[in-house]
Structure 1
């Protein structure tokens, strides 16, 4: 849940601080539970939205095989040493997002890099401080497209459209007029 709060960038840090303070000082976790419910797509009626299911299905079916317990041990030891407060409850869950070990279906195809010779002009947007979708993924995607142009949003948080007027303008130009920004364009965050 904390990752999803942080994915919204610095704007969400006050919500996380407000949830952590009573949890740490008074052992009251209601705020953290509310953040977790929001991150997990759990509504007030106790039902979950389907994107959480889709996320697991897509990530587990298309991703690399999950690590074995022996492969996890060194990472768990490092996590416990470097982040004892965040790793005490479910350290495996901290490292495996989602935990695909029990997922019964695997793609027979190994992950492949994107290769699209002859592609139409494609705008790819990446944020330098995105904790969910690393910037290097956007770089690789744009590089695999013959006519891909990477637009970089400088700043923290997941996605860029809602965090930068410059990105919104570039997306509008692309979708309405088919104009791509110049290669190497960087946009500041609002």
Structure 2
């Protein structure tokens, strides 16, 4: 995977209409497919097309999924919703929630110097995903300051609540679920031992606990584990 990304960064694949697919776009397509196990066969086919046939069409299709609102056909939106709206909304929320945006007040030269310093660290962590994720360090540059509301979530005596964490979630680490539960001090954790982003849609076990909590106001007596149903 790392070799493919590096090769395409130097020699992008050319698709229909002359669209080019470079390595970092390939990484984005792979990341998109990792959100759901149902997309893994499509990812395998797309990578095979790129490697064997030099055809980026499958990877472009995976990239398109990131731009379409869930459950909505492209033609149903008309021209009212920009194609990049989901990404823009996510950026706005994440930036508002994050007070630790260390580059926000830096000059352009200082920000570039810091990103260059971090590049080796990010590449060491992941040759494929590292460079793309490094770009996120500049996502909030120039936006209004974030808040520390999320960091002050620890409130002794908070009402009991249910937290669900997925062990194989590529976007939301299970450790964050555990950390939030510790900070609340009154939460019950459902540990879903499956793959994909979130657990409710993929596990009848998770749905049972969540529905019982939301509809009946009932929490299990202690943390629970749900097996992988994939």
Q: Same fold (TM over 0.5)?
A: yes
Assess, with a 3 A threshold, how the Cα gap between structure 1 residues 133 and 104 changes in structure 2: closer, same or farther.
same
1:124 matches 2:163: yes
Residue 46 (structure 2) pairs with residue 19 (structure 1): yes
Q: Partners of 2:226 and 2:136 in 1: how far apart?
A: 29
| Alpha-carbon distance change, 132 to 155 in structure 1, aligned in 2, over 3 angstroms | same
Give 1:134's match in structure 2, choosing from 162, 167, 173: 173
List aligned pairs for 1:28-67, cutoff 5 A: 28-41=55-68, 43=74, 47-48=82-83, 50-63=85-98, 64-65=100-101
8 Å Cα contact 1:19-1:31 kept in structure 2: yes
Q: What are the ranges of 5 or more consecutive residues in structure 1 without an aligned counterpart?
A: none
Q: Distance in 1 between matches of 2:204 and 2:62?
A: 27
Q: How many residues align?
A: 182
* Residue-by-residue CA offset, 1:71-128 (whole Å, 9 max, x unaligned): 322135436xx64xx46xxx63243447416443222648625212222221000011
Give the conservation status (yes or no) of the 8 Å contact 1:118–1:146: yes
Q: Find out whether 1:181 has 2:220 as its counterpart.
A: yes
Q: Give the superposition deviation at 1:160.
A: 0.5
Misfit runs of 4+, over 6 Å: none
SS class of match (2:193): strand
CA RMSD of aligned residues (A): 2.7
1:75 aligns with 2:121: yes
Gap change, CA 1:138 and 1:113, over 3 Å in 2: farther
Conservation of the 8 A alpha-carbon contact between 1:41 and 1:52: no
* Higher-RCO chain (CA-CA 8 Å, sequence separation at least 6): 1
Counterpart CA distance in 2 for 1:108 and 1:119 is 21
Match for residue 154 of structure 1?
Answer: 193
TM-score by length of 2: 0.68
- Secondary structure in 1 matching 2:170: coil
